[in-house]
Structure 1
């Protein structure tokens, strides 16, 4: 187990800059997730850490050792791939032990390590089977077991769950989380699935077009996004973005909205001192669906809460909640409400806007304009 330092790493292909000066410091035992849309550079960065790609500039250090020019075999890492990459002609036991055998680990130690890993992953009963006899989830456990048997300084996971069905993906997420909590290993994990990122990571690095946009804990990324892209990428359903005007009036600073029936309303803003310089300007309001709900009596007197009559366009029951679609300022709005709240489509019902976690963006640059 070791820390990892990515120091101003640049990668270019011809004139195309794929990584644009990435800086990340990962502590021992930390679980870092690289997340972003396809083509953002996260897999290129992962391959650069593994030594499968040469970097154009910058340094990569594992522990105190500069491995920028080192071959993959000399970096003391283990990688779990999206495709499992198991040897089909070998048993599970042989697949797990293969890396140890290559390193000439004595047979008794190999067998003990295979048993340890198999017990950890609960695959003892699969040791004599071939990969072709296993389910997708079982193959992924074997791939993880092969990496764990190495006991390297650093584990790299490259979209390991993307080939699994939805239910199995949730189960494997839990297994990976429990495994990390038990072993305290240093992990760098690539995914395009923001739910995986939120549930697994100690910290998340959000990337777009080769740039690191924000690095922080899942809650920091969710509650305090640096820009509109990060705010919209993290969260399911995504954050609502509403173009509106900031206005200063007798009640303080707020935003003007118009509901689907054409009726005006006013919503207060949190931390008005950060936005006072933008009074009278067009801004983009960002508000999460769970902050627009059916009326909750105990919040009624909160100065950052307002009740607004809204026209119901669509309802989507999910069991625990109902997602409701309405409209303000010509933009559809996702709201999360109690399934017992009556919301007939086409009717106008009171909805509660809790503005305590609302965020604001510049409509041109998409940068946050209300961060401390």
Structure 2
């Protein structure tokens, strides 16, 4: 196991800068996820850590050793790819032990290691099969087994679950989390799936256009997003962004919305609004903070009732998403499935702004940091 330090890493192809000065440090045994949309540079950064791409500037340290220009074989890392990259002519056992064989590990030790990994991943019954005889989930386990057999300092996972169906993806996500808890290994994991990032990571680096927009724990990223992009990217459904006018009321500052009736919402950091009176800002509110009336919230400091018109309802089993429109913004509200609402109905909802954030609608930066 090892720690990882990425210092001001840049990657250019001619005039095109893919990575624009990345700075990330992770501790031994930490699970870091690089997340972002396609083309944001996360796979390029992963390949740079692995030594598959040479960086243009900056340096990469693994366990205190500068490996910026070291070859992949000298970095003592193992990588699990999206495509599994198994040898089709080899059995599962041979695929798992191949890396050990290349390192001249004695046959008896190789067999012990294959047995250990097979038991851990519950693929002992597959050892004599070839990749073509395996399901997608089984192939992914074999690819993980090949990496685990090496016992390297660090594991790199490059979108390992993206080829699996939804149910299998959830199952494999759980297996990877169990594996990390059991082994305490240092893992860097690339995905574009924000649910994977939220459920697996110790910390998340949210990337966009070759830059880290925010680095923090899943809860920090969810509750305290650095900017509009992070707020919109993390969370399912995404955070609502509602145009709201800053007003002065009773000696403090609040946010005025035009729903079916005008409503003024208190804000937990009113001082942040003082220089924006009369201006329109974007109110960031998670769907679970707009709900049907709940008795235990009655009279709470940051809770206000307002009428909305229902556009669409989306039953999801455990809850129902009610979609409305406020000042031309589509707004998702999360309600109890027992709360009856039909398209066209005007219903009362509770707006809880205790965890609300506000953004500048032009710069998209937080105004209340």
2:256 corresponds to which residue?
256
2:56 corresponds to which residue?
56
Output one character per residue of 1:92-126: Cα deviation in whole Å (capped at 9) or x when no partner: 00000000000000111111111110000011111
User: SS state of the match for residue 357, structure 1?
Assistant: coil
Output one character per residue of 1:50-109: Cα deviation in whole Å (capped at 9) or x when no partner: 000000000001101100010111110000000000001100000000000000001111
Structure-to-structure mapping, 1:87-126, within 5 angstroms = 87-126=87-126
Cα distance, 1:324 vs structure 2: 0.4
User: SS state of the match for residue 43, structure 2?
Assistant: helix
State the aligned residue count. 369
Pairwise CA RMSD of aligned residues?
Answer: 0.8
What is the CA–CA distance in structure 2 between the aligned matches of 1:103 and 1:289, rounded to whole Å? 53
Task: Name segments (4+ residues, structure 1) moved above 6 Å.
Answer: none
What is the CA–CA distance in structure 2 between the aligned matches of 1:279 and 1:225, rounded to whole Å? 23
1:135 corresponds to which residue?
135
User: SS state of the match for residue 176, structure 2?
Assistant: helix
What is the CA–CA distance in structure 2 between the aligned matches of 1:243 and 1:12, rounded to whole Å? 38
Output one character per residue of 1:107-157: Cα deviation in whole Å (capped at 9) or x when no partner: 111111111100000111111110100000000000000000000001000
Cα distance, 1:271 vs structure 2: 1.5
Structure-to-structure mapping, 1:221-232, within 5 angstroms = 221-232=221-232
Choose from 329, 339, 343 the match for 1:345: 343
Task: For structure 1, list consecutive stretches of 5 or more residues without a partner in the other structure.
Answer: none
What is the CA–CA distance in structure 2 between the aligned matches of 1:193 and 1:164, rounded to whole Å? 13
User: SS state of the match for residue 164, structure 2?
Assistant: coil
What is the CA–CA distance in structure 2 between the aligned matches of 1:8 and 1:256, rounded to whole Å? 43
User: SS state of the match for residue 270, structure 1?
Assistant: coil
1:359 corresponds to which residue?
357
2:330 corresponds to which residue?
332
What is the CA–CA distance in structure 2 between the aligned matches of 1:18 and 1:103, rounded to whole Å? 34
What is the CA–CA distance in structure 1 between the aligned matches of 2:108 and 2:176, rounded to whole Å? 28
What is the CA–CA distance in structure 1 between the aligned matches of 2:103 and 2:136, rounded to whole Å? 28
What is the CA–CA distance in structure 2 between the aligned matches of 1:199 and 1:360, rounded to whole Å? 26
2:153 corresponds to which residue?
153
What is the CA–CA distance in structure 2 between the aligned matches of 1:345 and 1:45, rounded to whole Å? 46
2:71 is equivalent to residue 66 of structure 1: no
1:38 corresponds to which residue?
38
Cα distance, 1:247 vs structure 2: 0.6
- Cα 1:251/1:317, change in 2 over 3 Å: farther
User: SS state of the match for residue 237, structure 1?
Assistant: coil
Task: For structure 2, list consecutive stretches of 5 or more residues without a partner in the other structure.
Answer: none
Cα distance, 1:278 vs structure 2: 2.2
What is the CA–CA distance in structure 2 between the aligned matches of 1:317 and 1:265, rounded to whole Å? 27
Output one character per residue of 1:179-199: Cα deviation in whole Å (capped at 9) or x when no partner: 000000000000000000000
What is the CA–CA distance in structure 1 between the aligned matches of 2:65 and 2:342, rounded to whole Å? 63
Output one character per residue of 1:188-227: Cα deviation in whole Å (capped at 9) or x when no partner: 0000000000000000000000011100000000000000
1:321 corresponds to which residue?
319
2:198 is equivalent to residue 216 of structure 1: no
Structure-to-structure mapping, 1:10-25, within 5 angstroms = 10-25=10-25
What is the CA–CA distance in structure 1 between the aligned matches of 2:86 and 2:330, rounded to whole Å? 47
2:189 corresponds to which residue?
189
2:254·2:273 contact (CA, 8 Å) conserved in 1? no
What is the CA–CA distance in structure 1 between the aligned matches of 2:150 and 2:170, rounded to whole Å? 26
1:174 corresponds to which residue?
174
Cα distance, 1:329 vs structure 2: 1.4
Of 243-252 and 330-339, more deviation after overlay is shown by 243-252
If the length of structure 2 is used for normalisation, what is the TM-score?
A: 0.99
User: SS state of the match for residue 86, structure 1?
Assistant: coil
Cα distance, 1:251 vs structure 2: 6.9
